[in-house]
Amino acid sequence: MAIALICNLLLLFSQICSAAVTITQLEPLSDNGTTLVSKEGTFELGFFSPGSSNNRYIGIWYKNIAVRTVVWVANRDNPITHNNNNNDSRTNKLVVNQEGNLVLFSQNETLVWSANATKKVPNPIVQLLDSGNFVLTDANEETVFLWQSFDFPCDKLLPGRRLK
C-alpha cells in the first residue's frame, strides 16, 4: 500500500515538474516531454506526433480528456520529421528569439515556423490561456497581445476565437 502511494506521488510530482507556465527568451519549450499548461489546467501545448506518424508538430489540446483532442497546430503545413538517432542530444525547440518573435526550430536548427510579433517589447513571454488562446505578450503588460493563435484558426472552433 505504501509503495503504491509513493509511486502515485512520484508520478504526480513528475507531471507537475514537466509543465511550464510560460516560454521566455531564457526558457524555451523543448521536445523532451515538457509542455505548457494553461493556468487552470484546461489546455496543454507541446510537441506531438499523430498516430504512428514520425512527423512532429507543436499544438494545443484539451489537457484532461482521455482521447487527445488537438484544437490548434502551429506547423500543420510544415511538420518536423522526427530523427530516431538516440545519440543526437539536439532537440526541437519553441523559443522566443532576440527579436521577440516566437519561433520553432527543428533539432538541426532549421526554422520550421514563426509567429511575428506586432512590435518589439522588452520582456516578451508566451502563455497558454484557459480559453485555449496561445499568446505572445510583454511580461509587464500581459493584457496586450503581440500575437495570438486565435488569429490563425485551425479546424476546431473554441469560444472567443474569431472566424475569418
pLDDT tens profile 77-99: 999 987 666 556 689 999 999 88
Task: Report yes or no on 164 lying in a domain.
Answer: no
Answer whether residue 130 is part of any domain. yes
Whole-model pTM: value is 0.81
In a domain, 156, yes or no: no
1 in a domain, yes or no? no
Number of domains into which the chain is organized? 1
Place of cell 521536445: 31
Residue 90 lies in a domain: yes
Q: What is the mean pLDDT of residues 25-35?
A: 93
First to last CA, the chain: 55
Residue 12 counted as domain residue: no
Q: Quick one: average pLDDT of 150-159?
A: 73
Is residue 58 a part of any domain in this protein?
yes
Cβ atoms of 45 and 128 closer than 8 Å: yes
Containing domain of residue 129, as a range? 19-151
* CATH number of 45's domain: 2.90.10.10
- Residues 6 or more apart whose CB falls under 8 angstroms from that of 120 comprise 99, 100
